[in-house]
A and B are shown apart, each in its own frame.
Chain A
Amino acid sequence: MTQEKLLGWKELPLGGAILEPGNSETRYTGDWRTFKPVIEQDKCTRCLRCWIVCPEPAIYIIDQPYTTKSGRQFKFSVEVNYNYCKGCGMCVEECEPKAIDWVEEEK
């Protein structure tokens, strides 16, 4: 919730307009999932297919250089934002090098 109490009809903007673009970011949907995807940065080839298919979007490109154990260098990494990931598994299915693990969520 962005505000403590819901606004009354006199305080609401005209037409019920929402004046904050993209404020659903404050609504976390991460607790929907039972399994979570975990990207293995060493296996990942940065093909970005998971980033394309993620319907949330909960997979982001971050500007963090990464060097794999075999010495391959990448200028960026791909990471899952678990606050929003609903655990659909589309990224796991699409991942060509099978670099995304499907891990059961533990409470």
Chain B
Amino acid sequence: MMAKPFFRTVYDVPREEYLAPGHGLCAGCTAGTIVKLLLKVAGPNTIVVNATGCVEVSTTPFPYTSWKVPWIHVAFENAAAVASGIESALKALKAKGVIDPSKRINIIALAGDGGTYDIGFQALSGMLERGHKVMYVLYDNEAYMNTGIQRSGGTPVYAWTTTTPVGKILKGKIQQKKPIAEIVAAHKIPYVATANPGYFTDMMNKFKKGLEVNGPSFIHVIQPCTTGWKFDPRYGIVLARLATETALWINWEEEEGQFRVTVSVPRRKHVRHYFELQGRFSHLTEEEIEAIQKEVDLEVDKINKLVGRTVIGPLVE
């Protein structure tokens, strides 16, 4: 049976802020929301290992830092490797009695989709296989937004980026998005989840669970990007919620092999509502949208069959 969730309402969220204001993230960047809430859950006894990416570049313009917890910047490819090293070093220091062995220190590896899907994948896979007690948080803005919106393994099909332009021949990205959370779940680690900042209590409970399990955990968070997805900055959270309401993004978790959909959608919306808010999909024709809708319908059927009941409801609007 499901344990009682730790964060049930907004009043359970601690008031302390561990991300200082004054960082250089774009106005309306939901990465700020995700990182802020992540640090609220993790608390002060935390070491953050941050791969290169939007969050790293904009929160630490030398000589400033927005982090109030120990933080280390590493290259794109080795966030998971450095996190493993820190975890082993802490274990050794605890064994030698340098640090109090009962002290709980959270280690969080934070990386974007470029640093996880493409460049940092082998380090991540290695960390999961070795079973280090690290929580890996992937904030997925579906392209290399930091270097100027180049396609990544996480870019969805038909999305415009500067390296998958829209013209007479090419209509955005040709390939499908890589199912990273499923790939990670195939490593049989204790905890894998997908989360959405639009459902913040659900997201924070997943961070909490990920930090508490004994072994590696992986949280895949969708992060609407106002610059790269081309929408008005104020719609960041609205879009994140729409992704779940249209079932393009399903919030699930897999705890010790138990698959569960944590945010059920009784009445599903058409994917059109999600696409029409974003400039990167403005070239889509009606047929292409219907084709994507068909794929989403198949995916929903698959999920419902897997869970054994209707967690994602029928299409209504």
Alpha-carbon distance between A57 and B61 when the two chains are bound, in angstroms: 18
**What size tier do the contact residues of chain A reach?**
35 or more
Q: How far is the CA of A86 from the CA of B237 in the complex (A)?
A: 16
Q: Are B21 and A58 in contact (CB under 8 A)?
A: yes
Q: Which residue of B lies closest to A55 (CB)?
A: B32
Asked if A4 is an interface residue, CB under 8 A from chain B, the answer is no
- Which of B17, B64, B197, B226 is within 8 Å of A23, CB to CB? B64
- The distance in angstroms between the C-alpha atoms of A51 and B200, with both chains bound, is 12
**Contact between A92 and B20, CB atoms less than 8 A apart:** no
Cβ of B108 under 8 Å from chain A: no
Q: Does A52 contact B (CB under 8 A)?
A: yes
Near B by CB (< 8 A), chain A positions 68-93 give 81, 83-84, 86-90, 92-93
CB within 8 Å of A: which B1-32 residues: 10-11, 13, 15, 17, 19-25, 27-32
Say yes or no: A88-B233 contact (C-beta < 8 A), given A21-B65, A22-B67, A24-B64: yes
Additional 18 contacts, C-beta under 8 A, given A53-B236, A83-B21, A88-B234: A21-B68, A22-B66, A24-B21, A26-B22, A29-B22, A29-B24, A33-B27, A48-B10, A48-B11, A52-B10, A55-B25, A57-B32, A61-B15, A88-B28, A88-B29, A88-B236, A89-B232, A90-B30
Interface of A toward B, CB cutoff 8 Å: 2-3, 6-7, 16, 18, 20-29, 32-33, 47-49, 51-58, 61, 81, 83-84, 86-90, 92-94
